[in-house]
Every structure is written in C-alpha cells, then in structure tokens.
Chains A and B, each alone.
Chain A
C-alpha cells in the first residue's frame, strides 16, 4: 500500500530538548516536504527536498533542520524546541516534475513543547 509514515503520532517534550520526527515513504517519490498546521494559518511549508541531498527552506524554516540521505526518508529535527513550535506537523511526498499529481500526506505528528 502506498503510504507516508510519520512517527511519533503524539509527542510532548520540554523546551530545549532535541527531538526528531521521522518520515518515510514507499512510493519512490523524489519530492518530500514538511508542513506545520496551525489554527487560522492553514498549512505552511517548513522545508522541502527535491531529491537525495537536495533540501531547501520553505516559508517557516526557523528552528528546524532536515536531512535527505536516502530517497525514502526525510526526518525533521528540532535542535532546541520552543513552545511556539507546538503544532501539528505533516510530512508529504510527491513526484517531481509532474505538477498535476497530488501530494501524499502522513497521518500527522502532534507536538507539544512545554
């Protein structure tokens, strides 16, 4: 089954404690991205990757890091989380170069930073 898998689904952490949210897709997609969803703001892109070792900032990259060492994985790293990073996070993947194909989303990770 084609899917994007994120872990964990729920996470409560304390300010400053490094964390990683994993994302993996099994569709051989080149393009992967991370979004955060906040009430009244919709989905905002944090980082994206067009292929292995190719990553770039989205609209709200501050406080986040990513890496793309393998095609299937795209982890999101918060080196020193702060309460304003409390949000619902989604990973997505899609084909590169084919704009009429949709993005596939993970189930989401609800992060609370206290």
Chain B
C-alpha cells in the first residue's frame, strides 16, 4: 500500500537557519503530495501541495518540489523564524481506491531565538 517516510525529529534550529525536512513516498499511480503543519494545540492545516511531477508548491517561504524520479517531496525554507515551530506532516492522496490521505509520522521543528 501507499506509505510516507519522514524523520520524526525533533529538529532544533536557530532563528534564520536553513530548514530541510526530508520526505519520501511509495505509491502506485500519480498521487498528489502535501505538507501540513500543526501548531501547538491546533489541528492540521495545509501548508503547500503539488499535484504532478516537477510541480513546486510554495507558501509562507516554504517550498517543496514533487520529484517522481526520486519519489521525494522535501520541505525547505531559507530562513526559519520562531513562529515556524510546529509539527510538519508530509502526506499523499492517491487517485485509486477510496482516495485515502496517507500521512508520515510528523517532524517536530523547534526554532530557538
């Protein structure tokens, strides 16, 4: 079945550091890929998405490129802020079956001043 792999963390960075959170996936067909963010005490909200190979999703300074050849969707940000501290989930949704969203385990990011 479909699966998403990402590091659990926590990842601790200083403010203004460069962020990379790796995400790789296994899926049949042509899934859409997503990054969700969960701030403390809140539900998940969409950060960015990409729906086909070589698409780049971007939002709030975060970017991720859909790489079909490496089955990856790594999240990057050039300069993190304390307000970016949250848990980040990589996810995919496939066109087959019942269109379930499959999540990675989530990566906790802590940004210190």
Interface size on B, residues (CB 8 A): 24
Assess A90 versus B95: contact at CB under 8 Å? Given A40-B105, A42-B104, A45-B100. no
| B34: interface (CB < 8 Å) | yes
Q: Is B100 a contact of A48 with CB atoms below 8 Å?
A: yes
| B93: interface (CB < 8 Å) | yes
Q: Is B105 a contact of A56 with CB atoms below 8 Å?
A: no
Interface size on A, residues (CB 8 A): 26
Assess A100 versus B49: contact at CB under 8 Å? Given A41-B105, A48-B98. yes
Assess A96 versus B34: contact at CB under 8 Å? Given A40-B105, A107-B42. no
CB distance from A25 to the nearest CB of B (A): 12
CA distance A99 to B98 in the complex (A): 10
Annotate B36-48 by CB proximity to A: 1 below 8 A, 0 otherwise. Answer: 1000001111100
Q: Is A58 a contact of B100 with CB atoms below 8 Å?
A: yes
CA distance A97 to B96 in the complex (A): 10
> Which residue numbers of B lie inside 8 Å of A, CB to CB?
8, 31-32, 34, 36, 42-46, 49, 51, 89, 93-95, 98-101, 103-106
* Given A43-B89, A99-B99, 16 further pairs, Cβ under 8 A: A4-B43, A40-B105, A43-B44, A45-B100, A45-B101, A56-B98, A90-B43, A92-B44, A94-B101, A99-B32, A99-B51, A99-B94, A100-B51, A103-B101, A105-B43, A106-B43
> Which residue numbers of A lie inside 8 Å of B, CB to CB?
4, 31, 33, 35, 40-43, 45, 48, 50, 56, 58, 90, 92, 94, 96-97, 99-100, 102-103, 105-108
